[in-house]
Amino acid sequence: MKLFIKFDFNTICKKVLETKLEELNIKYKILAFGEVELLEKITPEAQNQLYNSLNEYGIEVVENQKSILVQKIKDAIIDMVFNEDSEVNVKSSVYLSERLGHSYGYLSNLFSEVTYTSIENFIIIQKIEYTKQLLLTTDLSLTEIAFKLNYSSVAHLSTQFKNATGITPSAFQRIILKRRTISQQKN
């Protein structure tokens, strides 16, 4: 039997953080996605233990100021793309500048310097990942997904999807449908 699972990265990450911090008896306060305030000083041993236990889940503590701001940019983009509650209708450059309190030019240059890719490419990758998730877990049409992700047209979404994955969204849907059919026939 195969299970198809839908999950929320933010919730998973928050739960892992809470669990690991509580296991180590560290008093904390979660300020925002990707931001935790430790409410008391911890020993270097406890700090290493925390970092190592978080690394097991692919969670890395960022300590360099440039890397911290880049992580905040990534978190803001992920929140902008994946957030079901908010319909962000402003340009991503305006959204990031207002949210992070820096000019978009500065954020863009810093992001490229640290990650070797552009903010625009990162946004496209996140949108394509979300599109795949929506195609897998909902009955939304491609038109509805394009509207939800603020694409100017379905053709624009389809072009970016194909450039990123090598296949069209329709081909992706057919492959998923075929795999599900084969899986159901086996069971």
pLDDT digit string (tens) for 76-113?
A: 999 888 876 555 567 889 999 999 999 999 999 999 99
- What are the tens digits of pLDDT across the range 28-61? 888 776 778 888 888 888 888 888 888 888 888 8
Residue 122: is its pLDDT beyond 90?
yes
Alpha-carbon distance of 147 to 64, in angstroms, equals: 37
Alpha-carbon distance of 71 to 115, in angstroms, equals: 10
**Confidence (pLDDT) at 87:** 55
Mean per-residue pLDDT, 70-80:
91
Residue 75: is its pLDDT beyond 80?
yes
**Confidence (pLDDT) at 88:** 55
Region of poorest pLDDT, from 1-5, 26-30, 53-57, 174-178:
1-5
**Confidence (pLDDT) at 89:** 66
Mean per-residue pLDDT, 6-12:
76
Kindly list the distances between the CA atom of residue 122 and the CA atoms of 77, 84, 186, in Å, as whole numbers in the listed order: 8, 19, 38
Is residue 91 within 8 Å of residue 57, measured between CB atoms?
Answer: no
Task: Give one DSSP letter per residue of 144-178, joined into a string.
Answer: HHHHHTT-S-HHHHHHHHHHHHSS-HHHHHHHHHH
160 contact partners, CB below 8 Å, separation of at least 6: 124, 127, 128, 151
Amino acid at position 44, single letter: P
**Confidence (pLDDT) at 164:** 93
**Confidence (pLDDT) at 28:** 86
Which residues make up the CATH 1.10.10.60 domain(s) of the chain? 118-187
**Confidence (pLDDT) at 7:** 72
CA atoms within 13 A on the CB side of 46: 13
Alpha-carbon distance of 160 to 174, in angstroms, equals: 18
Specify the CATH class of 118-187 in words.
mainly alpha
**Confidence (pLDDT) at 43:** 86
Mean pLDDT of the chain: 87
